[in-house]
Amino acid sequence: MNSQTTNTTYAGGIGFTGLLAILFIALNLTGHIDWSWWWVTAPLWIPSVVVLILIAVGFMLLLGKEIRGLD
């Protein structure tokens, strides 16, 4: 009989940007701020845009090296 125990730790949760988004949404719905919904939901989409920009820059740098033949 095998008596192994597995300790699994899940580091999940809502995170800072999720909390910020919930705060902005609540403030906008209650009328405490009068922002466009684009800015209210910014904590949800701005991190994705930053990652996509970094990926695009990385591909451009790799493509530039390949074009110049710097392998």
Give the Cα separation of 15 and 23 in Å (integer): 12
Give the Cα separation of 4 and 22 in Å (integer): 41
Please state the domain extents for the chain. Answer: 15-68
One-letter amino acid for residue 4 of the chain: Q
Sequence-separated contacts (24+) of 12-16 with Cβ below 8 Å: none
pLDDT in tens, 2-59: 567 777 777 778 899 999 999 999 999 999 999 999 999 999 999 999 999 999 999 9
Residue 8, pLDDT score: 78
Give the Cα separation of 64 and 41 in Å (integer): 35
- Residue 48's H or E segment, with its range, is helix 42-68
- Threshold 0.75, pTM exceeds: no
